[in-house]
Structure 1
Amino acid sequence: MSTVFNFTFVPWFRSVAPYIHMHRGKTFVVGIAGEAIAAGKLAHIAQDLALIQSMGVKVVLVHGFRPQVNEQLAAKGHEPKYSHGMRVTDEVALDCAQEAAGQLRYEIEAAFSQGLPNTPMAGSTVRVISGNFITARPVGIVDGVDFQHSGLVRKVDVDGIMRTLDMGAMVLLSPFGFSPTGEAFNLTMEEVATSVAAELQADKLIFLTEVPGILIHPNEPASEDNPIDTELPLAAAKKMLAESPNPTQPTDLAFYLQHCVKACEEGVERSHILPFAVDGALLLEIYVHDGIGTMVVDEKLEELREATADDVGGILQLIEPFEQDGTLVRRERNEIERDIDHYTIIEHDGVIFACAALYPYPEAKTAEMAAVTVSPQSQGQGDGEKILKRIEQRARAMGLKSIFVLTTRTMHWFIKRGFVQVDPDWLPEARKRKYNWNRKSLVLVKKL
């Protein structure tokens, strides 16, 4: 039994190590929907956040309280009122929000204070500090609706939050803000988390939500063949938003996506939408290659793009040394010119640092990723990952189920990224006819 355990645990732990190094010292803003706490998920989420913090990540935690406020309102015989996707906060609702926030704050602090032996919290010391870090202003009257005590973020006390994080504490924010006159305003968790992430220039904004993420085909139900889009470029997310109706419910496509887009536009490179229903969703998203939810990523379009005829010379210059040492099969200039629309490139200041080509075999629902090349100058900086993700997106957009590579030198890089080795007989007939049996390339496949 222990031998089997060693064979699974050791490679797994080693595969996680690069992500531990990558995230150490980074700042994550995590927004937890009140529904997650109502569903009894707080204990496990607290354990995972304590673990993430113990690995050197600075955490700002923002809690929501939509269901808890509605429960307090129901107890007082009061109906919740919404408009434009926001709560209309009258005097009764403001009282209920303050009661709910106080209760939740104590529950969250208690969850981080656990230290029972034989639990993930044993030996952990998580100091949780909350305070008046948010200055708010009233929403006011919109389209004739008076939002009363509902507010929007006016200012974030960046220095105060950063000093608290640098002390090694976790910052806990309730969706409340105060005006300079001391008046309290009810805010939304989503807006607070987004504003704080943007003001801190956080490395990640993460929403733990009722929805599993953004579907690849948003208007169709999720299925095995229609999974979550794990990486959504900012441009694609903005296009999706433009085609979506205004959100009124947390389950609407645009509800969380609009905040992810706003954060990315304001300098937060990566924003995530994760399902709280999946135990360990935070760990799966942060420390596993493909993640579990949707990540909206701000990739500068001038850096990662499809190739044009003007790029042929740069591609040839990039791949030539790898053709000479036998890593890549030789390609003639006219072949690259003919197939240029198959290529994706990464360019920095007019120099091409990475490329890959996608050759589809639609009859077999697959495509070959060929000529995968990263300049020695930029290896280890994630350019290979970016190219792979874009190639996967292109293949998915074509309705393909998998991509495959033929390689003699770099199999481990692909295996770490979800490819598995298959027999050359697996290849589509048209590709099998061109397979060079003397070269003995390994065939590796990744399901999309």
Structure 2
Amino acid sequence: MDPHEAPTFQDWPVAPVDGEFKYGQVVLLSLDPVASVSPFEDEVATAAAAQLQRAVYLAVILEGGDSFLMNAEEKYLLNFHFLLVGEGLAEENPSASTPLAPALVHPDGRAPVSPSAGSLPRPNLYVHSYDDFLGLVSRMHRGINPCSIRFSEDDMRILRVHVFKDKVKAQKERIAALEARIAAGETDVEYTPIPAYNPAEHESSRLSAASSGLFGMDPDAQERNQLPDPERDFEMRLAQAQIRVEVWLDVAAYPGPYTIEQPFHLHLEVDRLKRVWNEWEERATAELMAKRPATTAWLDGMAHHPDADSTHSNMDVESAHSTALPLQPDLPASRASSPSSLAPDDAIDVRMEQEEQDRRLVKQMLAARARETAAKQLSSGPAGTSPSLHAPAAASAGAQEGLAASPATPRKRPFAFISRAATSATSAVVSRVKPIFSGKPGTIKA
């Protein structure tokens, strides 16, 4: 069957080399926005996703991904960790590239890596170290000769090491630049590291796992499965919001002519997809809140009575973990005006993105504090406390879920509708919380 919709790992048609090594295949892929919003079953989100532009990318499969999504038959859906390949050296840092033979040029004299089988479709190709990502395969085209181009296990080990070292080097350089700015007297500095290669650092979903109707693989599965039906359905749909890609295994059989887009453009496409996700989440949250007037009243009360003395106590910056792609280094000016199929006004302004990360983290911090306060009020409400400050049943479920989650566990996500509703209290404490991020390195993920 070609194409194969929603393939599982059992549907992967490529046999391991020597009975062991499974990866190293060269494929074409394209972001599938409509499939990426399909769990929402929302006409508005589907229509918005259908309008997003799609480019074609060349990629090497590094290894299996870290998504635990299952189909109705409880088989794991096919997902991979991809290394993106571009024509020419990477723009933002040419050294953070690995030539693929017959390409030879590299600023540091890095030796090229040659395919063990087949020939690459272009002569001047490089793996761009900063542009790896995790994607779930929504549609798989086998073609006549699937995965005829592949790299050996030894070559993939070389690529893996290059990606790791390039990211570590870039991170050290950014830390040094940050320290120099601080030494020069700057006080308002922000730092977002480039994560070293580690699949666990690359979140492909907002929650780690959702199977056929249950959060079966999540550490908090029992608590989540006991949520009221509307909230449970909301969290389930949000958990399945993952980056989905359409994949062509036979590069030579791609239908029609194509241009291999530069890898960094995929981040622009994903950014636009995330906007659709966020818009759906806001609409769904509003619907939940409309059905829960008592919850709304309680959250309004919390927004007007924040605990100023402990707003940012016991907070772990690394626990703000909700992203589809690893954060990238600062983008050069050429990225904002590249002559690609993507409009220039869609380019990401990194400074604005980092500020948005701060705001999101503040919201999560406020929501966590609100849940903690609500739990205390439920256990021992002081005399004379306004009834509007007591959490109703729905908010109580959210509070218990929040208390059960460990801040150090990266795959946790605050109970979403409470997190969104806490926005009204954010502006009152941003000025107090902002210094936490000034001059202190940390991982803040969008």
Structure with higher RCO (Cα < 8 A, 6+ apart): 2
Asked if these proteins are the same fold (TM beyond 0.5), I'd say: no
Rg larger in structure: 1
